[in-house]
């Protein structure tokens, strides 16, 4: 066959493959929204990081609000394993935004259909870990949170030559890393050698251990990259969060100027600058210092200029350092990488921060007409179009399309099985409940391993929280009070009893580590089972209490009228042109 025919056949095969890939991995409702600008992927997650000296108890913390809205929400607990010499690890393409229908199979079994063609040597021992859409914590308290940040368009590589996507990188980090630094190097080197991209573009990972928290950002090296080129198949950089600082990533690149001579605070790929020069993204003769985010993922936006669609970065600094009075007019790229909080943060403070909806600011999502008569902050959570014009609304930290939210604690003063905790809440965090899962557990509830957005299933844990969320939305300002009472009972009490659970587990661990792991497993499963049962009952109670937009008191068996706010009634009179009722003549 002549070269010309080979070329056109290859091009045809590539086009067919690309079509199959897009059809299989990128459903339209994830990639775009009829009433909003851009795609949902670029506004999908918020990550908060807390250094050990910035937390109340010395924990290093990360978060991940998995704000997809249509993704797979299931979790797994993968045990540690020993491998015979010569074993290999198959690498799969795992699209973070794709969810299989229940009748097709569970995602974490079906990914085996998406073998990348690459197998790498397996180490003698792999660590156990907890994962959802990404790896979240392993046996060494190495923890991860994820946020999509994008990259320059010409850097994207969605070809099959890129063997790694971000999900697969996090799983390998969980299996192999003993520290955050080691996790970063493992992911970076694998991406360099075998290529990064395929289903993903620029990504940020918060990578933490009991001592350090890092922001790790990775981007593809363009669609023409091949392993035979001898060049890295990715470009990446990581910056350490100072121990007494906190930081955040709200789908925006966060690393600025890179100190190439400070390995204690910066790690990077060998092409971190040369790739930018090669791609004409940076000119070293310009006299300007190399700035990672301005080179590879720039923006020119602020909270104010976007009417709140880019408010999360400003809002975080407003929450942790209010006395500094950061202006919402400040360009996001000019806000600091990290900051020392005005007060140290507890794990419960961080949980509440993931629920923030910009209360008390001009960006509050329930202000005025937007929240309706019952001050619902979940209406219009993304831009909308009307008469050919696009209008932004606030995209807050606590957006109502979360698959789940994680808050991780890595605590160096305790043995690894006890020191690490993944706090997990399913669904929208304002109506859900955080549940603790220690890194030493040996299994998770079966109800965490199943479920789907399009099929109601009482056996799936997530649906208990969606059930409550649905019944809260109708009369939010009333129903959210009932939800907060339940959160106080189940969530805050779990946080408060953590020191006792730690101590009991520690006493057992000194005698028999396996017994301590069993104790922690039993505690976490029993607690989560009780929470799930409580949320199913809460959903039932909300349905009864606020049925038909009345208030039904089950204790007194009396019905009362719901009070609508005066401002709403005035607008109703004006819009519907209502006239006052005339007094009856006697």
Angstrom distance (rounded) from CA 136 to CA 289 = 34
- Point out the residues of the chain with pLDDT beneath 70: 1-43
How far lies 511's CA from each of 411, 506, 507, in Å?
21, 9, 7
CA 97 to mean position of chain CA atoms: 12
DSSP states along 361-425: STT-TTSGGGGTTTT-TTSS-S-EEETTEEE-----SS-TT-SEEEEEEE-TTS-HHHH-EEEEE
User: pLDDT digits over 239-263, tens only?
Assistant: 999 999 999 999 999 999 999 999 9
Residue 382 is predicted with a pLDDT of 85
Query: What pLDDT does residue 29 have?
Result: 34
What pLDDT is attached to residue 585? 82
418 touches 432 (CB < 8 A)? no
In eight-state DSSP terms, residue 490 is I
Alpha carbons 348 and 434: distance in angstroms, whole number: 10
Strand intervals (E) in 154-253:
203-208, 213-220, 234-241, 246-249
* pLDDT, position 1: 47
**pLDDT, tens only, 3-42:** 444 334 443 333 333 333 333 333 333 333 333 334 444 5
Which among 350, 345, 46 is positioned nearest to 206, based on CA atoms? Answer: 46
Is the pTM of the predicted complex or chain greater than 0.75?
yes
pLDDT at 148: 97
Per-residue model confidence (pLDDT) at position 293: 98
User: What is the 3-state secondary structure of 41-75?
Assistant: HHHCEEEEEECHHHECCCCEEEEEEECCCCCCCCC
Residue 241 gets which letter from DSSP? E
Q: What is the pLDDT of residue 381?
A: 86
Tens of pLDDT, residue by residue over 117-166, are: 999 999 999 999 999 999 999 999 999 999 999 999 999 999 999 999 99
């Amino acid at each position: 066959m002549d070269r010309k025919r080979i070329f056109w056949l290859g091009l045809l095969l590539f086009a067919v493959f690309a079509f199959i890939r897009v059809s299989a991995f990128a459903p339209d409702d994830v990639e775009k929204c009829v009433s909003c600008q851009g795609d949902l992927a670029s506004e999908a997650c918020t990550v908060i990081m807390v250094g050990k000296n910035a937390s109340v108890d010395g924990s290093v913390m990360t978060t991940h609000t998995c704000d997809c809205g249509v993704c797979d929400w299931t979790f797994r607990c993968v045990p540690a394993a020993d491998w015979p010499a010569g074993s290999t690890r198959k690498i799969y393409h795992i699209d973070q935004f794709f969810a299989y229908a229940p009748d097709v199979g569970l995602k974490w079994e079906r990914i085996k259909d998406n073998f990348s063609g690459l197998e790498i040597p397996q180490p003698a021992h792999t660590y156990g870990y907890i994962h959802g859409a990404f790896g979240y914590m392993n046996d060494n308290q190495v923890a991860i949170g994820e946020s999509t940040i994008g990259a320059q368009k010409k850097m994207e590589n969605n070809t099959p030559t890129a063997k790694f996507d971000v999900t697969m990188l996090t799983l390998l980090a969980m299996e192999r890393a003993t520290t955050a630094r080691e996790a970063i190097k493992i992911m970076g080197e694998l991406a360099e050698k075998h290529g990064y991209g395929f289903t993903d573009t620029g990504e940020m990972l918060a990578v933490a251990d009991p001592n350090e928290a890092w922001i790790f950002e990775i981007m593809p090296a363009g669609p023409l990259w091949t392993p035979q080129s001898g060049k890295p198949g990715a470009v990446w950089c990581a910056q350490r969060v100072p121990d007494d600082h906190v930081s955040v990533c709200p789908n925006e690149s966060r690393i600025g100027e890179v100190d190439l001579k400070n390995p204690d605070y910066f790690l990077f790929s060998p092409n971190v600058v040369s790739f930018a020069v090669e791609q004409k993204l940076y000119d070293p003769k310009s006299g300007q210092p190399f700035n990672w985010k301005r080179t590879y993922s720039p923006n020119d936006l602020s909270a104010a200029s976007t009417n709140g669609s880019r408010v999360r970065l400003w809002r975080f600094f407003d929450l942790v350092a209010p006395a500094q009075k950061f202006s919402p007019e400040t360009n996001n790229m000019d806000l600091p990488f990290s900051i020392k909080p005005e007060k140290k943060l507890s794990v419960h403070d961080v949980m509440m921060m993931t629920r923030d909806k910009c209360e008390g600011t001009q960006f509050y999502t329930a202000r005025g007409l937007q929240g309706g008569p019952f001050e619902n902050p979940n209406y219009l959570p993304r831009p909308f179009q009307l008469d050919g014009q696009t209008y932004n609304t606030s995209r807050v930290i606590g957006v109502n399309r979360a698959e789940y939210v994680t808050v991780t604690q890595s605590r160096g003063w305790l043995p690894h099985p006890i020191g690490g905790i993944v706090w997990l809440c399913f669904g929208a965090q304002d109506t859900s409940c955080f549940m603790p899962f220690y890194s030493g557990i040996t299994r998770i509830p079966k109800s965490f391993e199943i479920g789907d957005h399009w099929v109601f299933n009482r056996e799936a844990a997530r649906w208990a929280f969606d059930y409550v969320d649905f019944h809260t939305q109708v009369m939010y300002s009333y129903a959210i009070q009932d939800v907060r009472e339940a959160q106080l009972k189940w969530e805050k009490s779990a946080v408060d009893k953590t020191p006792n659970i730690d101590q009991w587990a520690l006493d057992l661990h000194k005698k028999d580590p396996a017994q301590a792991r069993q104790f922690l497993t039993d505690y976490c499963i029993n607690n989560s089972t009780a929470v799930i049962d409580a949320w199913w009952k809460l959903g039932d109670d909300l349905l009864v209490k606020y049925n038909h937009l009345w208030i039904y008191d089950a204790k007194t068996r009396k019905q009362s009228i719901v009070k609508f706010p005066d401002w709403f009634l005035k607008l109703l009179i004006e819009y519907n042109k209502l006239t006052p009722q005339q007094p009856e003549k006697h």
